[in-house]
Chain A
Amino acid sequence: MNFSFPDDTEILRKELRAFLDVHWSRERRAYSMNDAIARDLATLEPNAAHVTPEEVRKFYRLLGQAGFLAIGMPERYGGTGVNHLARYVLQSELTSVGAPYPNIALTMVAPTLISVGSREFLDEHIPRIIAGEVEYCLGYTEPSAGTDLASLKTRAVREGNGYRINGQKLFSSSAHYADYYFVAVRTDPDAAKHRGISIFLIPMNSPGITINPLITNSGVRTNIVFIDDVWAPASALLGEENKGWTYLGESLAFERYAAMLSLPLVRAYEELVVAVGPDPAPEVASKLALLRADIRAADLLNLNAAWTAHDGRPPIVEAAESKLNITELRHRLARLALELLGSRGLLTELDPDAVAYGQFDLMYRHSVIHLFTAGANDVQRDIIAQSGQGMPRGTTPDVRRVAK
C-alpha cells in the first residue's frame, strides 16, 4: 500500500495554502466550520472575526479566478477533468481553516449536471460554478419526508411547456444565499414512491418561493421554503422525468465522503493541544493520546473514501464509514475539549478570553447537526451493514405480533 498523495495534489496543496495565507485571515481560521456558520453569525452578531455574505461571494470569485474551482470540472469548460483526490485536497484545505467553499455546487449540483444534464444546462451553469459566481441550495427534506426522502409530497404538474410546482421544504440551509434551488419533487403520484421523483433547478427568485428562517442551536440559520404555484419551464427539469431518485443515489454515493472531512478535526486537535499547554497532567495526556489515535483513524477512513472514488469505484461503504465516524468523533472531540478547558470552555467566540476563538463551544453546539445531515448516521450504519457485510435488507417485524 502507498499512502503518498500524487505530486499534482501536493503541488495543489501548497498553492492553496499560499492562497489562503493571502486571502483568509488568521482570526477567521479559528472556526474550522463552514461558510454557512460564518455568514449566519455575521448576520446575527456583526464582528470583525465574522465574515459577511458579501465577503463570502468575493472569496468564491477569488477561488474561481485562481482556478481552484475548475478542479473536477469538464475539460471542455477549462476544468481539470475528474480528479477526486485533488478535490479532496481542495475541500480539506479550505474547511480546515474555516474558509468557505461552494459545497453544494461542487459536491452535488456539478456532478449531477455532468452526469445527466443537457448541454444547455452545462453551458449555463458549469462556467459560472468554475468562476465562483453562483450558489445553490438543496430542497430535499419535507415535514413528512426526512430520512425516508422518497415519501416527499411536493408536487410538480405538467402545464403547457413547463411545470407548476406546489409544496413545502424544510431545512433548506443556505436558501437565503442561493441563486438556484436544486429541488426534488413528485412528478408521478401513481408510481412507486422511488419512481415518481424528478429534480428541477429553479431560480430562487422565482415568484411563489418564500423563505422563512429557522435559527439553530449554533446560530446557523436554516430555512422553511414554501413553494406556491411556482412556474418552471421544461428546460428546468434535470435529466429525465421520474428518474430523480436514481440521480440522487448516484451522486450521493460519490459525494458523501466530501460532505464531512477529517482535516478540520486535525486542525481542531492541534488547537486543543496548544490550549491545554505544553506539559499536561498524565490523565489529560492520556485523553489527548486516545483522541489523537481516533482522529488518525478518522483521517484514514476519510482518505480511503476519497481514494476509492479516485480509483473509479463508488465509495458506498467507505463514504458511509467516513461520514459516520467523523461526525460522531467531532461531537466527542468538542465535548472533551470543553471538559479539558473547564469553565473557560463556555465562552463564545465573541468573548476576548475565549480559548481558541471559542471554536469548541461552537463545534459542540453545531456538531449535533452533522449526526443527521447528509444522511442520518443510523442510515449510514444500515448502508455499511447491507452493502459492506451482506446483511439482508428489510425492517424489523412487529415482535409483539409474531410472539402472539
Chain B
Amino acid sequence: MRLQLDEDQELIRRSVRKLLDGFPVEQRRTTWGKDWPRGAYSQLAESGLLELALGPHLLGQPMAAAIVLGIELGRASLISPLVTSVAACGCLLNQLGDAQHSALLASGTSIAALAVEENQFVTGALEPGLEFCKGRLRGVKRSVSFADDADFLLVAARDANGTIVLLRINTDHSGVTMRKLDSISGEPLFDVEFDLPVTRDSICGSGETVEQAMRRTLTNVFAMQSAILVGGGERALEIASNHVVQREQFGQPLGAFQAVKHHIANSRLALDAARLMVFELAWKIDRGETAILAHAAETKLWTATATAELLRRAHELQGGISVVDMHETMLLYRRNLADSLLWGSPPELLPLTYPLRSILPTVQPVTDI
C-alpha cells in the first residue's frame, strides 16, 4: 500500500507544472474565451505528455500517470483539446484498431473532436439518435468542444437497423455546419449540423465493438475530467488559504476566525477525499476491475459536487476581489462549472452509478466492461 505519488508520478507532476508555469495566469485571463494557449498544448505534445491521456497500458504508463497530468491541467485551468482529442477520440480510435490516427492525436500532430451530445452527453454517446441512413448523415450534435480546431470529428450515430455506428467526418466537408456558442467556459464550443453523404471508409466501427469502445472511452474521459476537477479545486483552495492568512480585518487575519477556518477545513477534507477517490479509480482501472464505468461515473459525480462547493466557498472567503477582472478564482470557478457540466453532468452520471448497489468488493454484482 502506498497512498502517495511514486517517483515516476512525482517526476510527471513536476514536469507538467514547470511547463505550464511558462503560461502564467495573466495570459490565460486576457485570452479567455477568445483563443486557447496553443503553445502550451504543443509543448505538452513535444514533451510526450499528451500520450498519457490515451488511457492505461497503451504506452506502458498506468492510469495514475494520466491522473497526475489531469490534476496539473486543472490547477492551471488550462484550456486545451486534450480531453476531446486524446482522452476521447485517441482512446476510441485506438480501441477500434486505428493506431495510426490515435498516434497522430496523441502526438498533437492532429486534433479531433468527439461529437456525441444530443439532448444529453451520456445518452448521446451510448444510445445516439442521430440518423445515418442510406449513406447519409443528418442531424445535430451539441456542445462539441474544439470542433473548429479539429481536423476531423468522431460522430456517434445510429443506422437504419438501430445499430450504433461511429463515423469519422472531416471538418472541412461542405455538409458540416458549425455554430459557435457564446459560452463562459473559455473553450470553443459548437453546435454542429450534419447533412452529408458518408462513404464506407468513414465508418470507424459499428455495433457491440463501438459500444464497448465507447464505454471504455467514457471511463477514460470521466477519470481525466475528475482529475482536472481535483486540480482546479486544489489551486482554488491554495489561493483562498493564502488570502485569508494575509488579509486582516478586525485586527487579525481572516483565517484566525473560527468560521473561516471551518470553511477552509471543509474544503480541505473534500479535496483530500476527491483526490483519493480519483487515484483509487486509476488503481482499479490499472487492476482491470469490473464495473469500472460505474466507478468512473461515481468519481466524476462526487468530485464535481465536492469541488463546486469548494469553489463557492473560495469566492465567499475572498469576497469582492475574487470576482473582478478575471481573478484566478473566477477562471477556476468557470472551469469547474464547465468541467462539471461537459462530458456528463451530475444528473446524467447518476443512472450510470446505479449498478453499484454494493460497496463490498466481494459481492460486486455487475460486470460492465
Residue numbers of A with Cβ under 8 A of B are 1-6, 85, 266, 269-270, 273, 282, 285-286, 288-290, 292-301, 303-304, 307-308, 310, 317-318, 321, 324-325, 378, 380-386, 388-397, 399, 402
Contact = CB atoms under 8 A, between A and B. Distances in A.
A391 B255 contact: yes
Contacts of A273: 357-358
Chain A, interface SS category: helix
Interface in B333-369: 350-351, 353-354, 356-360, 363
Nearest to B269: A321
A83 B256 CA distance: 37
Contacts of A392: 245, 252-253, 255-256
B321 interface: no
B252 A397 contact: yes
Contact of A297 (B64, B251, B282, B302): B302
Interface string B148-172: 0000000000000000000000000
Contacts of B306: 297
Given A382-B265, A385-B264, A392-B245, A297 B3 contact: no
Nearest to A291: B359
A392 B255 CA distance: 6
Given A289-B353, A324-B269, A269 B241 contact: no
Nearest to A321: B269
A391 B283 contact: no
A310 B1 CA distance: 10
Given A289-B353, A304-B272, A381-B261, A396 B283 contact: no
B262 A325 contact: no
26 contacts: A3-B3, A3-B283, A269-B359, A289-B301, A289-B350, A289-B356, A292-B356, A293-B302, A294-B302, A296-B359, A297-B274, A297-B276, A301-B273, A324-B265, A382-B265, A384-B269, A385-B255, A385-B264, A388-B268, A389-B268, A390-B241, A391-B245, A392-B256, A396-B257, A397-B251, A402-B250
B237 A389 contact: yes
A317 B5 CA distance: 18
A298 B245 CA distance: 28
B272 A2 contact: no
A395 B251 CA distance: 12
Contacts of A310: 1
Interface residues of B, number: 52
Interface in B233-254: 237, 241, 244-245, 250-253
B226 to A, nearest CB: 12
Interface of B: 1-6, 9, 64, 237, 241, 244-245, 250-253, 255-262, 264-266, 268-269, 272-274, 276-277, 279-280, 282-283, 298, 301-302, 306, 350-351, 353-354, 356-360, 363
Contacts of A402: 250-251
Nearest to A402: B250
A397 B250 CA distance: 8
A85 B1 contact: yes
Contact of A2 (B253, B262, B283): B283
A2 B2 contact: yes
A301 B253 CA distance: 29
B252 A1 contact: no
A271 B161 CA distance: 43
Most chain A CB inside 10 Å of its own CB: which residue of B5, B258, B265, B306: B265
A1 B5 contact: yes
B298 to A, nearest CB: 5
Contacts of A4: 1
A391 B256 contact: yes
Contacts of A381: 261-262, 265-266
B280 A3 contact: yes
A382 B258 contact: yes
B252 A389 contact: no
Nearest to B346: A290
